[in-house]
Amino acid sequence: MGSYSAVEVIAAAVSGAHYPAPDLDKLDMKGSMLGEEQPTTSGMENGHQCPFVIGVAGGASSGKSAVCKMIIDQLCDHRVVVVTQESFYYGLSDEELVHVNDYNFDHPDAFDMDLLLSCMENLKHGKSVDIPNYNFKTHKSVPRARKVNPSDVIILEGILIFHDSRVRDLMNMKIFVDTDDDVRLARRILRDLEKGRDIIPVLDQYSKFVKPAFEDFILPTKKYADIIIPRGADNSVAIDLIVQHIRTKLGQNDLCKIHPNLYVIQTTYQIRGMHTIIRDAATTTHDFIFYADRLIRLVVEHGLGHLPFKEKQVITPTGSVYTGVDFSKSLCGISVIRSGESMENALRACCKGIKIGKILIHREGDDGKQLIYHNLPKDIAKRHVLLLDPILGTGNSAVQAISLLLEKGVQESNIIFLNLISAPQGVHVVSKRFPRVKIVTSEIELGLNDECRVIPGMGEFGDRYFGTDDYQSSTPFFGDAKDRVRLL
Ligand SMILES: Nc1ncnc2c1ncn2[C@@H]1O[C@H](COP(=O)(O)OP(=O)(O)O)[C@@H](O)[C@H]1O
Ligand SMILES: Nc1ccn([C@@H]2O[C@H](COP(=O)(O)O)[C@@H](O)[C@H]2O)c(=O)n1
Ligand SMILES: [Mg+2]
């Protein structure tokens, strides 16, 4: 079969859109092409900020490069660099070149992993590196190395990038692109024929080396993946979730460094999944309450972990001594009416019989706030206070509420402000004014829009939780929600 007709036949067999694979060796942050040295503009050298390292593994032609390109495109406001394992192929000796068809490019020994590791360690420590420039036609590294400067995100991509545990250990997130064998073979044939190779040696290489190496070395590394992406670049939902996770990590690291009293609970895909539901405008009141309650409970538990404790010993039913801790008893909750009231049940569920006071702050225009009502425990000055409000936006309500608590004699360091989402602006305002107040949140937002609303946000929390929003007003109320609405 001539190569032209083979291409035609195979092209017809490969379904779906054709994603032009970027030349990742030449691709750098924000999709720009490399070649020239990049300027280093971040605070890497001073104070060295550790980059977020993502490993992307998968069979040859599974779509690793296409997935990387999608991640880079979506992370457009962060500096991203891609390092491909292919750059670290050992060059072939003259002897090996004569028998190139017998050379196994899919075996772990084909790569100089020590050099890859040292480049990665330097990048992680904020140093620029020279990445070899491998040529697929000559099977040798060409002299002009690629200079790569440290970045916010480093993507390490390659068929066997999870094979070496030393390299795996450098990764903050491991992705395996899981694409059907036939699709990978079809894409590979197309790609190699386009490169000018002949079909017979391409198929020979596949059956002799590529397929066995996939089964023996690549597929067994799938177990190390944190995320497995079926269908590669076609799976935009998986890629969106990955990008959101990276954004959260990058954003929250910076903010937590600036504000040591900001605590963002460790994210998991459960937590991201719950956020996805409660942020979705189409979510019913019933589901909104259910998932908001689950998240609130996590935030409350985390907040309680910041309370002081005394060591306590107990005798277990086996007669042994268990040395544990005793919870702080001088505690109360204060909810900011009305959305903060949604957090009261979780607090009561965690702290039996806890006193909960209330503060009502009226919003005047976009940033003016007026305190119009409060009902606080009389002995509040002696207590640790868990201040409850699910959304920290501009920080104006929080400042009003915390100012009142301080007026009543509460010590600043005894206040823990619990919320579900925090805008960086609000965190700055509260932390600057009250540096000893702890803020515990489950996600940091992108920011505020022109109307001072949190984005991406989740809309008017109180309305969505108590079922009084227009969008969901026709939704029937269920159990707790109905009672809570009536209580208002
Ligand atoms: N989802 C997809 N649908 C169709 N073609 C794809 C898709 N993902 C990748 N391709 C094509 O398959 C080939 C191999 O993709 P690439 O991303 O380079 O894979 P890898 O980096 O894993 O070898 C490229 O020609 C690319 O255009
Ligand atoms: N000189 C070479 C070097 C490597 N290969 C093949 O490339 C594949 C890995 O690259 P992907 O982008 O597809 O992950 C691997 O299967 C090698 O066989 C080659 O053909 N020639
Ligand atoms: Mg590739």
Q: How far is the CA of 183 from the centre of ligand 1 (A)?
A: 10
Taking the CA of 210 as reference, the closest ligand is 2
- Binding site membership of 139 for ligand 2 (Cβ less than 6 Å): yes
Q: Is the CB of 88 under 6 A from ligand 2?
A: no
pLDDT tens for residues 224-252? 999 999 999 999 999 999 988 887 777 77
**397-420 pLDDT per residue, tens:** 999 999 999 999 999 999 999 999
Ligand 2 neighbour 414 (Cβ under 6 A): no
Pocket test for ligand 2, best of 103, 159, 160, 191 (most atoms within 8 A of CB): 159
Q: What torsion, rounded to 10 degrees, do the Cα atoms 9, 13, 18, 24 define? A: -80
Q: Which atom of ligand 1 is nearest to the CA of 60?
A: 23
- Choose which residue among 68, 69, 82, 86 to substitute to test ligand 2 binding: the one with the highest number of ligand atoms within 8 A of its C-beta: 86
Average pLDDT over residues 303-322: 92
**Residues facing 454 on adjacent strands:** 448
The CA 158 to ligand 3 mean position distance, Å, reads 7
Mean pLDDT score, 70-79: 81
Select from 168, 173, 125 the least CA-distant residue to 149. Answer: 125
**Interval 172-199: pLDDT, tens:** 999 999 999 999 999 999 999 998 889 9
pLDDT above 70 (res 29): no
pLDDT at 69: 94
Which protein residue's CA is at the shortest distance from atom 23 of ligand 1?
Answer: 61
**What integer pLDDT is reported at residue 470 of this predicted model?**
62
Task: Return the higher-pLDDT residue of 250 and 36.
Answer: 250
Cα–Cα dist 129/334, whole Å: 53
Max mean pLDDT among 29-43, 100-114, 368-382 falls in 100-114
Cis bond before residue 338 (omega within 30° of 0): yes
In ligand 2, which atom is closest to the CA atom of 89?
Answer: 3
How far apart are the CA of 25 and the centre of ligand 3, in A?
A: 9
- Give Cα 277 to chain centroid, integer Å: 17
What is the CA(226)–ligand 1 centre distance, in A? 21
| Structure tokens belonging to residue 240 | 């969106």
The closest ligand to the CA of 82 turns out to be: 3
Return the ligand number nearest the Cα of 96.
2
Q: How far is the CA of 60 from the centre of ligand 1 (A)?
A: 9
Mean pLDDT (whole number) for 332-354:
95
Calculate how far, in angstroms, residue 32's C-alpha sits from the geometric centre of ligand 2. Answer: 24
**How confident is the prediction for the chain on average, in pLDDT?**
85
Q: Which two tokens stand for residue 191?
A: 């790609």
| 31 has pLDDT over 60 | no
- Which residues have CB under 6 Å of ligand 1? 16-21, 58, 60-66, 187, 191, 232-234
Evaluate if residue 49 carries a pLDDT over 60.
no
**Residue 28 confidence class, pLDDT cut points 50, 70, 90:** very low
Q: Which ligand ends up closest to the CA of 27?
A: 3
Residue whose entry in the numeric block shows the structure tokens 């903050």: 172
- Give residue 159 CA to ligand 3 midpoint distance, Å: 8
Lowest model confidence (mean pLDDT) among 182-196, 203-217, 456-470: 456-470
Confidence of residue 446 (pLDDT cuts 50, 70, 90): confident
Report the pLDDT value the prediction gives residue 367, as an integer from 0 to 100: 58
CB 86 near ligand 2, within 6 Å: yes
Give the number of the ligand closest to the Cα of residue 191. Answer: 1
| Integer Cα distance of 26 and 303 in angstroms | 46
Question: What single-letter DSSP state applies at residue 111?
Answer: B
pLDDT for 368 equals 64
State the pLDDT at residue 117. 96
* Sign, Cα dihedral of 57, 58, 61, 67: negative
Instruction: Report how far ligand 1's centroid is from the alpha carbon of 68 (Å).
Output: 11
Residue closest via CA to ligand 2's atom 17 equals 105
Between these two residues, 294 and 9, which has the higher pLDDT value? 294
